[in-house]
Amino acid sequence: MTTPTTPATPATPTTSAPRELAIAATGLRKAYGDKTVLDGIDLAVPAGTVFSLLGPNGAGKTTAVQILTTLIGADAGELRVGGHDLASAPDAVRAAIGVTGQFSAVDNLITGEENMLLMADLHHLGRREGRRVTAELLERFDLVEAARKPASTYSGGMRRRLDIAMTLVGEPRVIFLDEPTTGLDPRSRHTMWGIIRELVAGGVTVFLTTQYLDEADELADRIAVLHGGRIVAQGTAEELKRLVPGGHVRLRFTDPVAYESAAAALRDAVRDDGALSLQIPSNGSQRELRAVLDWLDAAEVEADELTVHTPDLDDVFFALTGSTTAADSTTSDSTTSGSNAGSTAPAARTAADSTADSKETVR
Ligand SMILES: Nc1ncnc2c1ncn2[C@@H]1O[C@H](COP(=O)(O)OP(=O)(O)OP(=O)(O)O)[C@@H](O)[C@H]1O
């Protein structure tokens, strides 16, 4: 397991007391036949935070969610959710959690409001209280106009909002969101992100699986990458990004003569003769950028375009889960990548660079 060297920044700097853990797993194991899906993983999610579990298809994210929500049993591990032990008090765990995601609880044949009232019944809220909670949640999730229409007529975004609203009827303290924005358009995704932030601001803990790395980057206080049955890295998004070298400034030229003279002056730069571009290792910080610009001035290099690429979670994901070898090489390079951007690690840089082009920032 790779652990970033920098300690995590506390989510709430105002208190130094350790937060109560909403989810705690030690040595979680699960196998299907002779296929080990979770090979002894540890998770610690402080209450009131967003934790994101990332991993390639088939890594075991849904299996982890199913175990932590009591849907299936684990083969081994000490597991606590919402302050209760999963093995000895599954009902208490169920009462403390909400689950939404790939398997929606929405019944298409009835209206949104009826779905909500049904959920209120399941939670044994009285008729009046059920109506009050339903009205409040429909309002909060912008579903008042659609409340009397069959759920089958709802858009994907409306259905997810209804699904979350239904989950909130039981006032869960821990919510598992399994790929909550898959298939949603960008506007609906942003609406969902706003909803998740609001939930967390209200003290709810969110366990999020997602295939969108920008979503984890945007929302998660901590991220764990699951691969080969193990957590191969975990930390804040910033800590994970520091595991991957590959930050650089790219200079593009239109004039081959200018390109050649720049390449001669900047002998440490990586050449791309086809694109007439040079890459200078840089961590993208203001200080390093200034140093690069001074260096270019001194060498009298004038590029037609200058772009800065900093590793993002896609790079991290690719490097850690691309193959065992890639993950291993990235791990060993990681200690130098954050502090010494002047050095480059060829194997990991190749992994990062292959996904880099669409994410460069022109500054
Ligand atoms: N009931 C089952 N019986 C046998 N194998 C299973 C069962 N459920 C899951 N698996 C296998 O366990 C592995 C992990 O599956 P899981 O659905 O947890 O992965 P995931 O990370 O959620 O993937 P995805 O991103 O594709 O949803 C896969 O290889 C899957 O085929």
DSSP, residue by residue, 102-140: SS----TTSBHHHHHHHHHHHTT--HHHHHHHHHHHHHH
Q: 194 Cβ partners below 8 Å, 6+ apart? A: none
Question: Which ligand 1 atom is at minimum distance from the Cα of 60?
Answer: 18
Q: Which domains does the chain have, with CATH numbers?
A: 21-106+154-240 (3.40.50.300), 243-362 (no CATH)
Dist CA 25 CA 333 (whole Å): 29
Dist CA 172 CA 188 (whole Å): 23
Q: Which of 28, 29, 30, 32 to mutate to test the pocket of ligand 1 (most atoms within 8 A of CB)?
A: 32
Cα 59 to middle of ligand 1, angstroms: 7
Name which residue sits closest to atom 28 of ligand 1, judged by CA.
Answer: 58
Contact 76, 29 (CB under 8 A): yes
Q: Which of 30, 62, 210, 321 to mutate to test the pocket of ligand 1 (most atoms within 8 A of CB)?
A: 62
Contact 161, 141 (CB under 8 A): yes
What ipTM, to 2 d.p.?
0.97
Cα 198 to middle of ligand 1, angstroms: 31
User: Residue 175 forms beta bridges with which residues?
Assistant: 98, 206
Residues 45, 18, 43: CA angle, nearest 5 degrees: 20
User: Residue 100 forms beta bridges with which residues?
Assistant: 177
Residue with the two structure tokens 């083969």: 75
pLDDT classification of 13: cutoffs 50, 70, 90: very low
Q: Determine the angle formed by the axes of helices 156-168 and 127-140, rounding to 10 degrees.
A: 140
Cα 130 to middle of ligand 1, angstroms: 37
pLDDT classification of 17: cutoffs 50, 70, 90: low
pLDDT tens digit sequence for 231-284 = 999 999 888 887 777 678 899 999 999 899 889 888 888 899 999 999 888 877
| pLDDT above 70 (res 123) | yes
Name the token pair of 319: 């490097």
Name the token pair of 6: 């920098």
| pLDDT above 90 (res 25) | yes
211 or 354, higher pLDDT: 211
